[in-house]
Amino acid sequence: MTVSKQEFRDAMARLGAAVNIITTGGPAGRGGFTASAVCSVTDEPPTLLVCMNRNATAAPALKANGNVCVNVVAAGQQDAAMVFAGVTKCSMDERFDAGTWVTLATGAPVLQGAVVSFDCQVTEIVEKGTHLVVFAEVAGIRAGSVHDHGLIYFGRDYHRVGKLG
């Protein structure tokens, strides 16, 4: 049995996932994109997995800088997520006008007001099909307010989800 690309995409639209803005910063410049393909790998050492299209405009900077920040988007930051998803046509530098940014340990941009941000060093990148699978060890964490609502992507649309506190 063969599953078509469209069948797979339609099925994946039924798998809700957190909305994340993935950023990188350093000598190769800043870059970023919106992703839902993010998950925990292990807690010893704390490691995340991020999938990105190998043709993404942020890919060269991410590879060269060797860092990423996984910014878990709050419900009120949906517009920023759409900018980093490429819905709004602008330059990579202009994307960073959508939000306020600081840095932690690695130099990757950290989104102020995110539900949580994981500042990471890239430890390995594996190429699989059209994507890069990025393994990133967590070097720092900045938690947002427990009163913020999160944002998930489900059914090809954004949805607000409950708050922690």
Express each pLDDT in 99-152 by its tens digit: 999 999 999 999 999 999 999 999 999 999 999 999 999 999 999 887 789 999
Give the model confidence (pLDDT) of 10-68 as tens digits: 998 888 899 999 999 999 999 999 999 999 999 999 999 999 999 999 999 999 999 99
In what order do the strands lie in the sheet containing 131-143?
31-35, 20-24, 67-72, 116-128, 131-143, 46-53, 38-43
Give the separation between CA 79 and CA 146, rounded to whole angstroms.
Answer: 21
CATH number attached to the domain at 5-159: 2.30.110.10
- Residue 92 pLDDT > 90: yes
Q: Is the Cα torsion angle 93, 127, 141, 21 positive or negative in sign?
A: positive
Instruction: Give yes or no for a contact between 28 and 107, defined as CB atoms under 8 angstroms apart.
Output: no
